[in-house]
C-alpha cells in the first residue's frame, strides 16, 4: 500500500509553554523556560526545564491509580488545543482497533519507583499503594494513553534514549504504509526525576550554567521534561488535515559508544541521508533544521561539523534546547513539532543563549530568530548508543 503520511493535529507541553500557543509566545520573545534547579530532593547546581503544571497536577479520585509525573505530563499534553477533538473525528471514521499508538520515553514513571524505594526503606516493607503494575512499567505512558483515549490498536513504547520519540514517526509511517492501521497517535514523554538528574551528573554532562548550544563556553546540558503528540493518517482517509506530511525519515545505530557519538557522526550521517533519499530531496532543498544541539562539548562539535559538510549556508539551523532543556525521550517529538510549527508561524527560532560561536565548529548559527516560509524542514535526534533518527516534513505534498 502506497500513501502519503499526513499530520492531522499536534500539541505539546514543555518548560517554555503549556500548549503550542504559549510556546509560540516564548519562542518569539526568546524567553527561556529554564530555571535554577529547585527540584525536590535534588541539590545539584544546574538549570532545569521544569513544567510546574506537572508538579501541581491533581488527579481525579477515579484516576488516582495512574498517578505519576510522567502520566501527568501526558495528560496535560493530551488536553492541549484540538488534539482530542481531532482524535474523536478519526474515531468516527475508523474503529479503535484500526488506530495505533507509538510513544517514546526513556524514564517512563520512574519517579514512582523512586518513591516506592524510599517508602520501603522508611517502612521496612513494600507499600501497597506502590504496587501498580501498569504504572511501574517501561510501557506506562502508552498504557495510560490507551486507557485515556480508548484506542485498542497496536501499541508500542520505544526507548532508544534521546531519539525515542523521533523514531515514533518512522514506526507509524511503516504501519500506515503497510495498511496495519488507518491512523496513529504518536507521542513522547519524559519527566524530571532524581535518577536522570544524578545519572547525567555522574557522566559529567550536566552544566552548572544555563545551557549554551554550539557556544565556545558550553559545558553541558540542562535536563528538561515535556510531552507531545501528533495524529497521523494516510492521505486516503477522508479527514481534514494540516497539509503537512512526513516526507522522509532515516534511522541508524552506529553503536560507537555507550554515551559518546561517533567522532565523524557516521551514524547520524546515515540517518540524514536516508531521510533525504526517502523524501527525494537534496540537502539544499531543506529550509530549516532543528538540530539535536545538546550543548555538550562532543555532541555539538560532531553534529555541527557534520551539518556544515552536508548542507549549504542557506539552510537555517538552530538548537531549541535553550528554551526547553534536553527533554531526553521527549526531545524527538518536541523538536519535530517545533520544526513543523514553522509552517504555521513562519518563525524560525534561533539558538537561544548562543553568545560566542565555537571556532572549532564549522556550522555558523545565530542566536536571533528569523522569518521564513519553509517548504521542507528537518529535525535531528541522536541518542546514547548511537541511536540516530532524522525526520523531514513538507508542506502541501499530500
- Write the CA distances from 145 to 35, 42, 115, 187, 194, integer angstroms: 29, 29, 23, 10, 24
Told to judge if 128 belongs to the known catalytic residues of this protein, a careful annotator would answer: no
Where do runs of H (alpha helix) occur along 58-109? 69-78, 83-91
Q: Cβ distance 121 to 204 under 8 Å?
A: no
Catalytic site residue from 6, 193, 262, 326: 326
Q: Is the dihedral of CA 362, 162, 297, 320 positive or negative?
A: positive
- From the list 162, 193, 262, 376, the catalytic residue is 162
Give percent helix, percent strand, percent coil of the chain, each to the nearest 5.
40, 20, 40
Q: 14 - beta bridge partners?
A: 17, 226
Report the relative pairing of strands 244-253 and 183-190 from DSSP bridges. unpaired
Task: Give the strand order in the sheet containing 35-36.
Answer: 35-36, 47-49, 223-224
Start-to-end CA distance of the chain, whole Å, equals: 15
Angle formed by the axes of helices 297-310 and 266-279, to 10°? 40
Q: Are 59 and 67 in contact (CB under 8 A)?
A: yes
Query: Is 257 part of the annotated catalytic residue set?
Result: no
Contact criterion met (CB below 8 Å) for 153 and 71: no
Shortest CA distance to 265 belongs to which of 317, 315, 215, 301? 301
The grid coordinates of residue 93 equal 471514521
Would residue 326 show up in a list of annotated catalytic residues for this protein?
yes
Quick one: residue 220, left, alpha or beta (phi over 0 = left, psi -120 to 50 = alpha)?
A: left
Strands, DSSP E only, in 138-290?
155-158, 183-190, 223-224, 226-234, 244-253, 288-290
**Which amino acids are annotated catalytic?**
162, 292, 326
Amino acid at each position: 500500500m502506497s500513501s502519503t503520511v499526513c499530520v492531522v493535529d499536534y500539541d505539546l507541553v514543555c518548560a517554555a509553554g503549556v500548549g503550542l500557543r504559549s510556546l509560540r509566545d516564548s519562542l518569539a520573545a526568546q524567553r527561556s523556560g529554564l530555571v535554577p534547579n529547585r527540584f525536590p530532593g535534588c541539590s545539584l547546581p544546574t538549570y532545569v526545564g521544569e513544567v510546574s503544571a506537572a508538579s501541581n497536577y491533581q488527579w481525579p479520585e477515579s484516576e488516582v491509580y495512574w498517578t505519576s509525573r510522567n502520566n501527568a505530563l501526558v495528560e496535560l499534553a493530551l488536553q492541549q488545543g484540538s488534539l482530542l477533538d481531532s482524535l474523536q473525528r478519526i474515531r468516527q471514521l475508523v474503529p479503535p482497533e484500526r488506530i495505533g499508538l507509538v510513544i517514546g520515553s526513556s524514564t517512563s514513571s520512574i519517579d514512582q519507583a523512586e518513591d516506592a524505594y524510599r517508602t520501603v526503606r522508611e517502612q521496612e516493607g513494600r507499600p501497597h499503594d506502590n504496587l501498580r503494575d501498569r504504572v511501574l512499567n517501561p510501557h506506562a505512558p502508552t498504557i495510560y494513553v490507551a486507557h485515556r483515549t480508548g484506542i485498542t490498536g497496536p501499541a508500542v513504547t520505544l526507548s532508544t534514549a534521546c531519539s525515542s520519540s523521533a523514531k515514533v514517526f518512522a514506526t507509524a509511517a511503516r504501519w500506515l504504509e503497510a495498511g496495519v492501521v488507518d491512523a496513529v497517535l504518536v507521542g513522547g514523554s519524559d519527566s524530571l526525576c532524581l535518577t536522570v538528574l544524578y545519572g547525567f551528573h555522574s557522566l559529567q554532562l550536566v552544566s552548572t550554567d544555563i545551557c549554551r548550544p554550539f557556544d565556545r563556553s558550553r559545558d553541558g546540558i540542562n535536563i528538561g521534561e515535556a510531552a507531545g503528540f501528533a495524529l497521523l493518517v494516510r492521505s486516503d482517509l477522508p479527514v481534514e488535515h494540516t497539509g503537512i506530511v512526513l516526507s522522509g525519515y532515516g534511522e541508524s545505530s552506529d553503536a560507537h559508544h555507550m554515551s559518546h557519538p561517533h567522532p565523524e557522526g557516521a551514524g547520524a550521517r546515515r540517518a540524514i541521508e536516508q531521510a533525504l533519499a526517502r523524501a527525494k530531496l537534496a540537502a539544499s532543498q531543506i529550509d530549516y533544521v532543528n538540530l539535536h544541539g545538546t550543548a555538550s562539548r562532543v555532541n555539538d562539535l560532531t553534529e555541527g561539523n557534520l551539518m556544515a559538510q552536508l548542507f549549504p549556508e542557506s539552510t537555517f539551523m538552530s538548537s531549541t534546547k535553550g528554551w526547553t532543556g534536553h527533554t531526553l525521550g521527549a526531545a524527538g517529538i518536541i523538536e519535530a513539532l517545533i520544526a513543523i510549527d514553522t509552517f504555521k508561524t513562519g518563525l524560525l527560532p534561533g539558538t537561544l543563549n548562543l553568545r560566542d560561536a565555537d571556532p572549532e565548529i564549522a556550522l555558523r548559527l545565530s542566536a536571533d530568530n528569523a522569518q521564513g516560509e519553509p517548504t521542507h524542514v528537518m529535525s535531528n535526534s541522536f541518542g546514547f548508543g548511537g541511536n540516530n533518527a532524522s525526520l523531514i516534513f513538507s508542506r502541501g505534498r499530500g
